[in-house]
Amino acid sequence: MIVEARLAQFDSIALESGATLSPVEIAYETWGQLDTLRSNAILITHAFTGDAHAAGISHETGRPGWWDNMIGPGKAFDTDHYFVICSNVLGGCQGTTGPGSLNPATGLPYAMSFPVFTIRDMVLLQKKLVDSLGIECLLCVAGGSMGGMQALEWAVSYPEMVRCVIPIATTWRHSAQQIAFNEVGRQAIMADPDWCSGDYYDKKPPARGLSVARMVGHITYMSDESMREKFGRKLRDKEKFGFDFGVEFEVESYLRYRGTQFVSRFDANSYLYITKAEDYFDLANGTGQLTEAFRTVDTRFLVISFTSDWLYPSYQSQEIVRVLRRLNGDVAYCDLQSNYGHDAFLVDVAEQTEIVRGFLDSTARIARAA
């Protein structure tokens, strides 16, 4: 299944901050066929460093998508039945307008003059894309981590446009600890002299800072247990300690590799902006009253969390579920047993597949009956 990236362009987008971005482009891919009633469309929303290439083999890079185990013929998001769309988020660096894009007013990259945006702004841009594809109502919006925040925001911002949402391993607002981890990443980038206040696009990027930020991220994506199983105290290529500061433990090697590799595919300024959007995210708009946010929502919910996920712990999903139940909402919840930590939604997908498949099937049946 070879897929090609596509691009949609819109004249402008009015952001939550009050700023306007003009024009704005959004990169996306699609899989499967839109049915004649345009009723079988599913929007997949990606996590922090993801992109539009969620499934199939990329025409450009030859690489499989980041959720290829969940999207395709016969898979959880079955492309024999559904028309699946995934787009790169606003502010990203994989085709959608972001800090690395040229500002038409100056002919130079926006860099840190790019307007600050929110999860709601990301969703607004996705809505423009969905509108432009002639789809009046999505069957589903589904995503993990920051993708789950977008799914939740869809349910609250455009409840009439989405029949069900599947927020996975996510939260309705970032905790102090989640903000803290993001802040460390931002500080690592901004501490790198190569960051140059964001104006590095004609020079070398802040590779060291971005790499350190990514290393912190990777620790939080795994569980204590999965790290122990994968690395333990295994040494890289020595019988004994080198008593030096080279790579000694395998876990050090893994982190350094992941950090370095990340630099080649991600833009440091996008890192800053997107983590800010995550930290701002608060479905209750600072009131602490999630009930109000969900009061007019009649979308179906399937909320999924993972037992060993300590970055987006299960209690955060359970807060969402409790409020929806209190409102007599249509909500299913599964706390899936997994040792993979936050990464579970990407790698431990057997049970997740069965649950998502059944939920989509019943939602489609209800939609047909309506």
Least gap, CB of 124 to its own copies (angstroms)? 16
Identified catalytic residue from 58, 267, 342, 343: 342
Q: Is 158 helix (H, G, I), strand (E, B) or coil?
A: coil
Taking CB under 8 A as the rule, which mask of x and - marks residues 194-233 in contact with its own copies?
--------------xx-xx--xx-xx--x-x--xx-xxxx
- Beta bridge partner(s), residue 41: 83
- Shortest distance, position 258 Cβ to its own copies, whole Å: 11
| Residue (103 or 253) nearer to its own copies, CB | 253
Instruction: Specify the pairing of strand 24-31 against strand 41-44.
Output: unpaired
Smallest separation, CB 230 to its own copies (Å):
7
- Among residues 313, 324, 331, 342, which is the contact residue for its own copies, using CB under 8 A? 313
Question: Closest by alpha carbon to 168, among 40, 301, 64, 290?
Answer: 301
Pick 118 or 352: Cβ nearer its own copies? 118
3-class DSSP state of 102: strand
Annotated catalytic, 174? no
The residue among 73 and 232 lying less far from its own copies, judged by its C-beta, is: 232
- Which of 51, 21, 86 has its CA nearest to residue 267? 51
CA separation, residue 296 to residues 147, 151, 281, 286, 291 (Å): 22, 16, 19, 18, 10
- The catalytically annotated residue of 121, 309, 343, 348 is 309
Residue 355 phi, psi dihedral angles, 5° rounding: -70, -45
The yes-or-no answer on residue 342 being catalytic is yes
Q: Is 324 in the site for its own copies (CB under 8 A)?
A: no
Catalytic residue among 145, 157, 223, 308: 145
* Per CB under 8 A, 180 contacts its own copies: yes
Q: Are 288 and 318 in contact (CB under 8 A)?
A: no
Return the residue of 116, 133, 137, 355 that touches its own copies, per CB under 8 A.
116
Which among 124, 93, 109 has a CA at the least distance from the CA of 14?
124
Alpha helices in the chain (DSSP H): 119-132, 146-157, 176-191, 207-221, 224-230, 250-263, 268-280, 290-294, 314-326, 344-347, 350-369
Binders of its own copies in range 291-310 (CB under 8 A): 310
How far apart are the C-alpha atoms of 53 and 5, rounded to whole Å?
8
Contact between 192 and its own copies per CB under 8 A: yes
Q: Does 11 help bind its own copies (rule: CB under 8 A)?
A: no
137 vs 207, which CB is nearer to its own copies? 207
- Contacting range for its own copies; rule: CB under 8 A; set: 66-74, 103-111, 168-176, 351-359: 168-176
Answer yes or no whether residue 9 interacts with its own copies by CB under 8 A. no
Return the half-sphere exposure (C-beta side, CA atoms, 13 A cut-off) of residue 97. 26
Residue 145 falls in the annotated catalytic set? yes
Neighbouring residues of 300: CB distance < 8 A, sequence distance ≥ 6:
163, 164, 165, 330, 331, 332, 359, 363, 366
Please identify which residue in 51, 78, 267, 282 interacts with its own copies, judged by CB under 8 A.
Answer: 282
Q: What are phi and psi of 40, to 5 degrees?
A: -115, 25
Instruction: Tell me whether residue 15 or residue 76 sits nearer to its own copies (CB atom).
Output: 15
370: its two tokens: 């309506």
Subset of 44-83 contacting its own copies (CB under 8 A): none
Q: In the bound complex, what is the minimum distance in angstroms from residue 61's beta carbon to its own copies?
A: 28
Catalytic positions: 145, 309, 342
Q: Which residues bind its own copies (CB under 8 A)?
A: 17, 112, 115-116, 173-177, 179-181, 183-184, 186-188, 190-193, 208-209, 211-212, 215-216, 218-219, 222, 224, 227-228, 230-233, 241, 243-245, 248-249, 251-252, 255-256, 259, 272, 276, 279-280, 282, 286, 310, 313
